[in-house]
């Protein structure tokens, strides 16, 4: 998988475009200090989130997706995009975008995962595009769970996976870790995930952020396989963050190093085949384990009779 990802990025020269489009984590001092001075209960400053207004309807390179709507637990209504799988039992990937953009920007990036008849749902968050509300940490977690629930309703017989991009990795890990949403997820993929937001906070205010976007705590509760894709030379979130997440996962996570900078600076079409091969393997392993368990149970019943 590592070699395939590296080969796919060769010749790509769109780093500046992708960084503007999908965004880096900001200079943390600019985000956190105003919140710290204000004594906020949830101190992550709103400048972390960079929603963009919707522009013209995007053009698609392949299939045209369907417009869908998810409803969060608190009633927030969220619009997204859906490429149905080619079969009713086909897998669906829920794409959870990073901190910048809107559902159209996210869908343009994520459409690479919809090739070859694959199922993809592109999530969007409250306050992004024309979604009402104001984004915050707990709100984003609710929004992620809402789109996982939507995937279950739209394709009840297919496997469901989540792909978290940047800040979306925190949403993906929390969705897999908690409640009914976690029970509906068969595997997780992250790209450029940080381990804990507090590591990016100046030490003077770090105590306020101990629990903010804590991916280490979340991954400890995840019970399904996790694929951690991360650039070896990531200048924003160091590669050591992926290693810390793997250590916290207790054997459930695999790190896929990507040579070079690889911080959201490449077209996702270059890693989509790698991701789907890994998810197909997860599904196959799960099916094999279920079949083996059934065979053992049947033998036990026969011997008991």
Give dist(CA 226, CA 98) in Å, integer: 18
More confident residue, 234 or 201: 234
Q: How far, CA to CA in Å, does 31 sit from each of 51, 53, 66, 108, 202?
A: 15, 21, 36, 28, 11
Eight-state DSSP code of residue 66: E
- Measured between alpha carbons, how far is residue 238 from residues 37, 48, 122, 195 in Å? 28, 19, 27, 10
Q: Beta strand pairing status for 119-122 and 226-231? A: unpaired
CA distance 249 to 303: 38
Residue 296 in contact with residue 23, Cβ under 8 Å? no
- Phi, psi at residue 209, to the nearest 5°? -115, 15
pLDDT digits (tens, 9 = 90+) for 207-225: 777 778 999 999 999 999 9
Q: What is the pLDDT of residue 34?
A: 43
Sign of CA dihedral 18, 231, 268, 122: negative
Domain ranges of the chain: 2-50+66-304
Band of pLDDT at residue 44, cut at 50, 70 and 90: low
- For residue 141, report the phi and psi dihedrals to the nearest 5 degrees: -65, -45
Mean pLDDT along residues 93-114 = 96
More confident of the two residues 206 and 166: 166
CA 137, 142, 144, 145 torsion: positive or negative?
A: positive
CATH 3.40.50.1820 fits 2-50+66-304, yes or no: yes
**Residue 302 structure tokens:** 């026969």
Percentage of residues of the chain with pLDDT beyond 70: 74
Residue 174 pLDDT greater than 50, yes or no: yes
Using CA atoms, how far apart are residues 271 and 4, in angstroms rounded to an integer? Answer: 8
Q: Which residue has the tokens 């943390």?
A: 28
- pLDDT for the residue numbered 235: 83
pTM for the model stands at 0.82
Question: Would the pLDDT of 159 be above 90?
Answer: yes
DSSP H or E stretch at residue 250: none
Strands 92-96 and 100-101: unpaired
Alpha-carbon span 9 to 24, nearest angstrom: 19
Question: Residue 264 has what pLDDT?
Answer: 52
**pLDDT tens-place string over residues 253-289:** 999 998 865 555 568 998 999 999 999 999 999 888 8
| Residue 153: both structure tokens together | 């309703």
């Amino acid at each position: 998988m590592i070699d395939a990802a590296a080969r796919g990025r060769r010749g790509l020269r769109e780093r500046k475009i992708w960084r503007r489009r999908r965004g880096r984590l900001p200079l943390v001092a600019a985000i956190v200090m105003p919140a710290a001075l204000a004594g906020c209960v949830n101190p992550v400053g709103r400048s972390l989130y960079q929603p963009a207004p919707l522009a013209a309807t995007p053009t698609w390179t392949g299939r045209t997706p369907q417009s869908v709507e998810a409803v969060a637990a608190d009633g927030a209504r969220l619009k997204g995009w859906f490429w149905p799988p080619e079969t009713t039992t086909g897998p669906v990937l829920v794409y959870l975008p990073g901190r910048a953009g809107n559902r159209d920007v996210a869908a343009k990036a994520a459409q690479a995962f919809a090739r070859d008849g694959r199922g993809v749902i592109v999530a969007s968050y409250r306050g992004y595009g024309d979604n009402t509300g104001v984004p915050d940490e707990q709100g984003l977690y609710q929004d992620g769970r809402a789109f996982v629930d939507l995937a279950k309703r739209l394709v009840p017989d297919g496997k469901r996976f989540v792909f978290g991009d940047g800040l979306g990795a925190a949403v993906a890990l929390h969705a897999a870790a908690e409640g009914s949403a976690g029970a509906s997820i068969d595997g997780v993929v992250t790209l450029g995930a940080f381990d804990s937001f507090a590591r990016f906070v100046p030490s003077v205010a770090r105590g306020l952020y101990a629990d903010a976007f804590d991916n280490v705590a979340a991954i400890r509760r995840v019970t399904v396989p996790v694929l951690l894709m991360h650039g070896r030379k990531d200048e924003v979130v160091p590669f050591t963050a992926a290693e810390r997440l793997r250590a916290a996962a207790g054997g459930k996570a695999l790190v896929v190093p990507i040579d070079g900078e690889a911080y959201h600076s490449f077209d996702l079409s270059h890693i989509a085949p790698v991701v789907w091969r890994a998810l197909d393997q997860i599904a196959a392993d799960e099916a094999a384990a279920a079949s083996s368990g059934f065979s053992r149970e049947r033998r036990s019943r026969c011997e008991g009779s």
